[in-house]
Amino acid sequence: MSLIAENITRTVAGEIYLSEAGFSLERGQFYTLLGPTLSGKTSLLRVLAGLDPVNSGTLSLDGKDLLKTPVWKRSVSMVYQQFINYPHLNVYENIAFPLRRMKKSSAEINSTVQATAKTLGISDLLGRMCGELSGGQQQRTALARSLVKGSDLLLMDEPLVNLDYKLREQLRDEFVNLFSDKGDSIVVYATTEPTEVLMLGGHVMVMSEGRLLQMGPSHEVFSRPASEEVARIFNDPPMNFLDGTVENGVIAMAGGIRKPKERHLAALPVGNYRFGIRASDITITPKGIQAIIELAEISGSVTFLHVNINGAKIVIQQDGVHPHGLNETIMADFDISALYAFRLDGRLAAAPSDHS
């Protein structure tokens, strides 16, 4: 059985929060909602939770009309960006709280709390008050309280966004193991970060301006985005796009970049296109075309170069830390096997067959 949404629309004061969203979520599966800020991720989660009404559409779980089910009768748990715990209760009682409301026996409560705390690595914190915990420990406590409910829907709205980088990486790894066995629950996890989607796996729902653009297994959507908009959202940094044409067996792109029309691009008809390539698929090599560095950013163990190629602006990703000077000249080359082609209406025309 599954959760089915059809033509869900929500507007507030004439502003569109969700626009005719339709999808099916299967029990025991993990889904990420990917999109920039104000894309509709939180609005969709709140509708699923029953916190916000809709203007039109249908929403059902296992055939039951959720839109006619009040929030307090829905089997749903939600974890927010800002962790929410009961400050007057210790960690044990925070986790046990929903179980006590469900009138579980003391033995069952203790067994469930202990097992969940062990999974999340907070067994040694059960006696502490929440005010004594770090941010990461508080978020684990909030997550544990949601998990013990065994809800049909577990909704998470960017739960790691307010944590430091190292702790985010640690919890992401734990989430992969934690949600590998989800039982009958449907897990929906909202994020703005494409790398987080790929790390967590499962299925992705790409959103923009209240619209659901594409849905499918995460790595498949990443490898074959249905549109230029999806490709832009599902890449960090965003995919580079260049106007170009296909003519006489050659792909000619802005900036004077020319490549042979071969491999997956061989069947493209003559015409105008938008060509896309990821920053990681552009290399610095003496065989390339001249590029002028306008900005060099070092982020952790990766260097991002914002360059100008005869008026065309692109970003190049280099693994490692590489010092570069402003207005420095380098030679850049595009991997033809990694090039995407989009029609002028934004729809995908050709994608690498074996590139991800």
Q: In this predicted model, what pLDDT tens digit does every residue of 292-341 receive, in sequence order?
A: 999 999 987 899 999 999 999 999 999 999 889 999 999 999 999 999 99
Residue whose structure tokens are 């691009």: 265
- Please give the average pLDDT of every successive group of 10 residues along the chain, which has 356 residues: 92 95 93 95 95 95 91 86 85 94 92 89 92 85 86 88 72 71 82 92 96 97 97 95 94 93 91 96 92 92 94 94 92 94 97 70
Instruction: Give exposure, 4-20, as e/b (b: 16+ Cβ within 10 Å).
Output: bbeebebeeeeebbbee
pTM: 0.89
Is 265 within a domain? yes
C-beta separation of 332 from 309 below 8 A: yes
186 and 62 in one domain?
Answer: yes
70 and 205 in one domain?
Answer: yes
60 and 172 in one domain?
Answer: yes
From 208, 233, 258, the end of a domain falls on: 233
Per-residue pLDDT at 182 = 58
211 and 162 in one domain?
Answer: yes
The arrangement of strands across the sheet holding 271-277 comes to 257-260, 250-253, 240-247, 271-277, 340-342, 348-350
C-beta separation of 331 from 289 below 8 A: yes
Provide the Cα torsion 162, 199, 48, 138; round to 10°.
-30
Task: Give the integer Cα–Cα distance in Å for 114 and 147.
Answer: 12
Per-residue pLDDT at 356 = 44
- Quote the number of domains for the chain: 2
Is 355 within a domain? no
From 233, 254, 271, the end of a domain falls on: 233
313 and 275 in one domain?
Answer: yes
| φ, ψ (nearest 5 deg) of residue 2 | -155, 170
| φ, ψ (nearest 5 deg) of residue 94 | -60, -45
109 and 92 in one domain?
Answer: yes
**What CATH code is carried by the domain that includes residue 42?**
3.40.50.300
From 186, 201, 233, the end of a domain falls on: 233
Q: What is the DSSP letter of 238?
A: P
Is 356 within a domain? no
> HSE (CB half, 13 Å, CA atoms) of 37?
1
Task: Give the integer Cα–Cα distance in Å for 290 and 186.
Answer: 50
Task: Give the integer Cα–Cα distance in Å for 32 and 239.
Answer: 20
177 and 268 in one domain?
Answer: no
Full domain range(s) for residue 327: 240-350
